[in-house]
Structure 1
Amino acid sequence: MSIYADLLRYRELFASLFQRDLRAKYKGSALGLVWTLALPLTLMLVYLVVFSVMWKASATDVDHYWLFLLCGLPPWVFFSSSLQSSARSLVENAGLIRKVRFPRQLVPLSIVATQLVAFVVMTAIVFVLSLIVLPEARSTAWLSIPIAAVIVLFVSGLSLAVASGNAIYRDIEFVVTALLLPLFFLTPILYSVDKLPGAHGHPWLVDLIQWGNPLTPVIECFRAPLFQGEVPSTANLVYLVVETVVALVLGAWIFSSVDDRIAAEV
């Protein structure tokens, strides 16, 4: 699709937008880009202390629960931060969009690229911890790398769709923000789907979380090789690939539909 092919054709412009967004993110801070490492580490530590040390429940009765939790965080943080940041990207770059004609999809995609930096850092940390703590995962941990690449494509498509839609309908950014909190608890980050306390009494709820939540296959596919030392299930892999294709097509379609109106609406 030409929408995404423009990333290669205008790679120098894309790189400039990425560098600008990355510098702007930490503008005025003493540590600058060091925060790309410090922030993911701090976030992972906070989740670790709160949910693995202070919060105890039967749903967390998992060996090495702290690592179980950390294996679910990188995809979620990347997903949520990318959608929130990209939602207003076209609106916040209205001045540039009105003055210069260029492939406008580069704007939200460059925002995703800035969030990708933290995703890479967090994934690298979890990867190393998995190799150290879980010998059984040493032969499968490398699978998390291509899976992470697919997750990047999935998030890119959704982010482009959200940014394009929000350029026309400003309510979308608020809808995204409102949905992220309940979606976090409906995604198996803090718990394993098959170990939910109410799973036996409410099997429909398990099915809803497993197959009704598009983020469940994302987390399960990412966690399986890193924590369980297994290849992700065929069902989860197929689900992830299919929803990634759908997200990319949806993002390209929505952007193409509103591209001519963006400059006037923002």
Structure 2
Amino acid sequence: MKEVVTLFKEQFKNMGIIFRISRYEDMANYQSHYLGLVWEYLYPLIQIGIYWIVFGVGLKHGQSNGVDYLPWMVIGITPWFYMNRATLDASKSIYQRVGMVSKMKFPVSALPSIKLVSNLSSFWTMMVFSIIVGLLYGVRPNIHWFEWLYYFFAMLMLLLALGIFNSAVSVLIRDFHMLLQSAMRMLFYISGVLFNFETSSFPPLFARILQLNPFFYVVSGFREALFGTGWFWQRPTLTIEFWLIVLFFLLVGSHLHYKFRARFVDLI
């Protein structure tokens, strides 16, 4: 637990550096493109359109739990796109920045956090788009929208825990990032992003196993907040399971990070 406390202290201490570098990376990634940073916002919107055409129109998913499929899908895919990109980017954040780590005194634990911040711009764009789509389909503001603050915090804590863990393991085992990419592709289909497996058509045991996925907790939570279907404390078992998973990755990831941090450059 001492290592987890140290980790959070380093994040808060270097918050300014994290935001400055994340802004620089956003500009550097798109400086050679004609549309520049517009792609940061345009790409996820194109993906939403593709999934809606395929699953909402082509496969005739008209509604899900009485909610039109488009707003249901959009609000679920919004946190997923962010979590997917942030997880994969954070996992390779240390070995991609080996030059920075070796040439200057830099808080290595801040590298995954930089990836979390740099991907937030597209997330906010998609959130605004999700709300607009919801309003067009008859969803009205309600008190449950404040629940987004909790799920946004929960999402960041999950991504920080996974970022610290994955970035350390990716240095120790270089094949790990490739395995993680495959795992995230599979998780896309079993995290409730496109299909609602909490319906009666799914076997209860199968649905219960899928609910253990922490990504599902965040995705379903964002939907719960938009449509005003409940509060997070009304499903205490899932909430406890989610935070236990986050704590597990924080403890193990922090331990690996501080145990091998002095050897990262040599291992890379």
Write out per-residue CA displacement over residues 42-75 of structure 1, whole angstroms, 9 at most, x where no aligned residue. 2222222221111225995753111111111122
Q: Is the 8 A contact 2:191 2:215 kept in 1?
A: yes
Cα 1:107–1:84 change in 2 (3 A) is: same
1:134 to 1:147, Cα distance in 2 relative to 1, 3 A: farther
Distance 1:13 1:25 in 2: 18
CA contact (8 A) 2:224 2:230 kept: yes
Matched ranges for 1:170-181 at <5 A:
170-181=174-185
Aligned to 1:254: 256
Which amino acid letter does the alignment assign opposite residue 148 of structure 1? F
Q: 1:29 aligns with which of 27, 33, 36?
A: 33
What's the TM-score once normalised by structure 2's chain length?
A: 0.88
Instruction: Provide the residue aligned with 1:47 in structure 2.
Output: 51
Q: Counterpart in 2 of 1:67?
A: 71
Please report how far the alpha carbon of residue 259 of structure 1 lies from its aligned counterpart in structure 2 after TM superposition.
0.8
| Aligned twin of 1:245 | 247
Give the superposition deviation at 1:242: 3.5
DSSP 3-state at the match of 2:77: helix
Instruction: Name the amino acid aligned to 2:46.
Output: T
1:217 aligns with 2:221: no
Q: Against the structure 1 CA distance between its residues 254 and 58, is the aligned structure 2 distance closer, same or farther, given a 3 Å change threshold?
A: farther
Distance 1:217 1:193 in 2: 13
Equivalent residues of 1:139, 1:229 under 8 A apart: no
CA distance in 2, matches of 1:39, 1:124: 15
* CA gap 1:258/1:127 in 2 versus in 1, 3 angstroms: farther
CA contact (8 A) 1:72 1:189 kept: yes
1:2 aligns with 2:6: yes
d(CA) in 1 for partners of 2:78 and 2:225? 14
Aligned letter for 1:20? Y
Residues 21, 110 of structure 1: 8 Å contact kept: no
**Could you tell me which amino acid in structure 2 is paired with residue 206 of structure 1?**
A
Q: Name which of 111, 114, 117 aligns with 1:107.
A: 111
- C-alpha spacing 1:176/1:133, structure 2 compared with 1 (3 Å): same
Cα distance in 2, alignment partners of residues 196 and 59 from structure 1? 15
Counterpart Cα distance in 2 of 1:79 and 1:109: 13
Give TM-score scaled by structure 1 length.
Answer: 0.88
Do the aligned residues in 1 keep the contact of 2:25 with 2:118 (CA within 8 Å)? yes
Paired positions, count: 262
Asked whether 1:77 is paired with 2:81, we answer: yes
Give deviations 1:21-48, integer Å, cap 9, x for gaps. 2122213112222222212222222222
Q: Where does residue 226 of structure 1 map in the other structure?
A: 226
User: d(CA) in 2 for partners of 1:53 and 1:34?
Assistant: 27
Q: Distance in 1 between matches of 2:153 and 2:23?
A: 21
- Kept in 1: contact 2:61–2:69 (CA 8 A): no
CA distance in structure 2 between the aligned counterparts of 1:129 and 1:237, rounded to whole angstroms: 28
Equivalent-residue separation in structure 2 for 1:147 and 1:61 (angstroms): 21
SS in 2 for 1:29: coil
Q: Which of 10, 16, 30 pairs up with 1:12? A: 16
Distance apart, 1:11 and its partner CA: 2.9
Within 1, Cα distance between the matches of 2:62 and 2:142? Answer: 28
Q: Distance in 1 between matches of 2:28 and 2:250?
A: 27
Residue ranges of structure 1 left out of the alignment (5+ in a row): none
Give the residue type in structure 1 aligned to 2:77.
L
Identity of aligned residues (%): 18
- The runs of 5 or more residues in structure 2 that have no matched partner are none
Considering only aligned residues, what root-mean-square deviation do their CA atoms show, in Å? 2.3
Once residues 57 and 206 of structure 1 are traced to their aligned partners in structure 2, the CA distance between those partners, rounded to angstroms, is 19
User: What is the SS of the residue equivalent to 1:193?
Assistant: coil
